[in-house]
Amino acid sequence: MGKKLTEMAEESSIPVADELAKLSILRGVGTETISDLFDQCSVRMLKSGETLLAAGRPNRKMFLILSGRLSVHLDSKKSKPVALLQAGQTVGEMSVLDGSPASAFVVAAESTRLIEVNEETFWRLVNASHEFAKNLLFLLAQRIRANNVTLSESARLQSQFERDALFDPLTGLNNRRWLEARLPRLIKRFRHSGQSLSVLMIDVDHFKRFNDTYGHLAGDIVLSALGQALMEQLRPTDLSVRYGGEEFVVILPSADLAGARIAAERLRTAVSTTPIVTHLEATLPSVTISIGIAQLSGDEDAASVLGRADVALYRAKNLGRNRVET
């Protein structure tokens, strides 16, 4: 059990009243009201690592921090702290206000001195002091505002993480995870509409040899250049994907085999005539690509149409590379 404030005032070289006056929640509260605290409240000492509040446990006290720091944890005492409470701040008031259990673990980050304000004294202060009630509302508004900022930032980060998870950072194209989620939906939509849909499976010819000769950084430049060519040579409605390694997939909505071949030949020609320029402005030989085409037919699924495009790609490889096959 902590000592009464009157006892602390007698023992301390710093008047406890001076410490109380520094607390934001008591700003403007009359000295007579503050003096009443000396008779009603105790000072509690926490050692570093000691738990003040545990999530899910009942709490009927507000704590005013005189010195030290408290860390706030959501999942467990060992989880990363979401906040640090300094001298002059408060904790526990929400449980007193709505009667709910503690919503987080609150632990002493270092030796900490606290004033314990029980539920009865808390409501006496609210009723007796307009300034205390106003300070409390201001404190709660700050907490809500801070929580809103945190939630907004969390939503932004979540959106960014979701985007990053579906895009390839080297080329800026969609990645295989995106394709696996999106292609089945596209197939269903185009099958019901009766429109054509074709797929290109693309592979860089002799990419391992290029990497071994000029280095992996030059290989990355090749992949990035191919990604740029896909964005420049295809229609805005066409969807380009880095499938993995040096393999790419292009989805061509509303394109039959003839239209897909025209697009594939345009892309193949553009890549074969694009010089590869390093960061040091050195020009390396152009690369070529092989392309396999498949048009969606019947009731086949994503795996089937991709598989047929892949078979066509290997046919192009076996027939000499730098060509388009169906």
Percent of the chain with pLDDT over 70: 85
Question: Residue 325 pairs with which residues in a beta bridge?
Answer: 292
∠ Cα 205 207 208 (to 5°): 135
203-231 in b/e form (b: 16+ CB < 10 A) is: bbbebeebbeebeeebbebbbbbbbebbe
Average pLDDT over residues 91-115: 91
Domain segments of the chain as ranges:
3-157, 174-325
Q: Can you list the alpha helix ranges (DSSP code H) found in 83-236?
A: 93-98, 119-128, 130-166, 176-193, 207-214, 216-233
Is there a catalytic annotation at residue 19?
no
Nearest alpha-carbon partner for 61 in 134, 132, 119: 119
Average pLDDT over residues 298-313: 94
In order, the DSSP letters of 148-169 are HHHHHHHHHHHHHHHHHHHB-T
The CA-to-CA distance between both ends of the chain, in Å, stands at: 83
pLDDT digits (tens, 9 = 90+) for 62-93: 999 989 999 999 888 888 888 888 888 889 98
Q: Which CATH architecture has domain 174-325?
A: 2-Layer Sandwich (3.30)
pLDDT digits (tens, 9 = 90+) for 9-29: 444 433 456 667 667 777 877
Q: Specify the pLDDT at position 257.
A: 95
| Band of pLDDT at residue 204, cut at 50, 70 and 90 | very high
Chosen CATH of 3-157 out of 2.40.100.10, 3.30.1220.10, 1.10.1520.10, 2.60.120.10: 2.60.120.10
| Band of pLDDT at residue 306, cut at 50, 70 and 90 | very high
Query: Which residue in the list 19, 93, 116, 246 is annotated as catalytic?
Result: 246
Q: Specify the pLDDT at position 158.
A: 66
Average pLDDT over residues 162-185: 86
Mean of the per-residue pLDDT values for the chain? 86
Q: Specify the pLDDT at position 312.
A: 97
3-state secondary structure at position 45: strand
Contact 226, 204 (CB under 8 A): yes
pLDDT digits (tens, 9 = 90+) for 213-240: 999 999 999 999 999 999 999 999 999 9
pLDDT digits (tens, 9 = 90+) for 279-303: 888 889 899 999 999 999 988 999 9
Q: Specify the pLDDT at position 157.
A: 60
Contact 60, 118 (CB under 8 A): yes
Average pLDDT over residues 95-111: 91
Percent of the chain with pLDDT over 90: 51
| Band of pLDDT at residue 322, cut at 50, 70 and 90 | very high
Question: Residue 118 pairs with which residues in a beta bridge?
Answer: 61
Query: Could you count the other beta carbons within 10 Å of the beta carbon of residue 4?
Result: 16
Q: Specify the pLDDT at position 87.
A: 86
119-148 in b/e form (b: 16+ CB < 10 A) is: eebbebbeeebebbeebbeeeeeeeeeeee
Identical fold, 3-157 and 174-325: no
Inter-helix orientation angle 216-233/207-214, to 10° = 130
